[in-house]
Amino acid sequence: MLCRDLMAAIKPQKTIREIEQLQKEPTEENWKKALKIIQKGKYYYIYYPSALKGKMSLSSAYAIIYDKSEKPIFKVPILKKTKNSIEGATSYLVGLDINRGMIK
């Protein structure tokens, strides 16, 4: 996995309102609104920064969405927030392929 600093350096090519909303508040409603935009991508790659030693931080984890030329377009969370809990949300990326070009 690439380090956090490198991830911060990958800037999205354009800011999309639905994606911004999703990044701020990953509710089911915002995931559904963002779905059409996400499906325009071709690839994804998920990053899991570590919060504490031995633990994974799901709230800090994210997926970068790439276009068909493997250029990064935007990033999305991988969680969905419900009223009382959180759920994993990688199923919203169905239709995209993992970008194995990002594996080091």
Partner 1 sequence: MNEQNLHELEEKSIYIMREARSKFDNLAALWSMGKDSTAMLGIARKAFMGKIPFPVIHIDNGIDFPESYKFRDELAKKWGMKLIVAKSEIREEMSGFSCCGSNKTDALKRIMKEHNFDGLIVSIRRDEHGIRAKERYFSPRDMHFKWDYKNQPEELWNNYSSKEKGASHLRVHPLLDWNEIDIWNFIKKNKIPMNPLYFSKHGYRYRSLGCTHCTVPIKSNAKNIDEIIKELRVTKVEERSGREQDKEKQYVMEKLRSLGYM
Residues that bind partner 1 (CB under 8 A): 44, 46, 48, 51-52, 54-59, 61, 78-80, 85-91, 93-98, 100-101, 103
CB of 90 to partner 1, least distance (A): 5
Other CB atoms within a 10 A radius of the CB of residue 55 amount to 8
Q: Tokens 């509710």 identify what position?
A: 27
* Cβ–Cβ < 8 Å for 92, 31: yes
CB of 94 to partner 1, least distance (A): 5
Give CA angle at 11 (10, 17), nearest 5°. 140
Residue 67 or 87: the one with the smaller Cβ distance to partner 1 is 87
Residue 8 or 82: the one with the smaller Cβ distance to partner 1 is 82
The residue type found at 13 is Q
CB of 31 to partner 1, least distance (A): 12
